[in-house]
Amino acid sequence: MKITAPYNRLVSSLPDSWVEQLTLLFVRVSLAGIFWRSGRTKVEEGSWLSISDTAKFLFQEEYSNVPLPPLFATYMATYAEHLFPFLLVIGLFTRLSALALLGMTMVIQIFVYPEAWWSVHMIWVALAMVLIVRGPGRLSSDALLAKRF
């Protein structure tokens, strides 16, 4: 018996195991949490989606390199940071949601905070890519819909 046999058996049993399913759920919730919290900073306290003057100011001043009109970018970012995390948590349109958040990450990386690749954005990209490549897992609305249809 090779010394690597127990390891190889363990590794080959991980895909489609409950460990993988919980990991994919954790990745979805983690990526969603990052963007949800960011989205919540853009709205008036106590409101659901009333965009704050502070957010509008940030897009006019600090995020002015984004190649979109500032007011449009403010609304699109705020709505995206609420919609796509929600979809990730429930596991609906997971790959599309992760792709959208990957796109947002790259816009932030290129136009807003180019120095943040190693400290932050690389992790966001990795989380999004896991979901794009592996999908949401069986603990998702996508999986329920796939079974039904």
Q: Mean pLDDT of residues grouped by 10 in the chain (149 residues)?
A: 78 80 97 98 96 97 96 98 98 98 98 97 98 97 95
Question: Which residue bears the tokens 């792709």?
Answer: 99
Q: Is the pTM of this model over 0.85?
A: yes
Burial (0-12, 13-18, 19+ Cβ within 10 Å), 11: exposed
Q: What's the pLDDT score for residue 77?
A: 98
Terminal alpha carbon distance of the chain: 45
What is the residue extent of each domain of the chain?
Answer: 30-148
What is the per-residue pLDDT for 17?
Answer: 86
The amino acid occupying position 57 is: F
Which helix (H) or strand (E) is 3 found in, with range? none
pLDDT, position 148:
92
Q: How far apart are CA 136 and CA 140, in angstroms?
A: 6
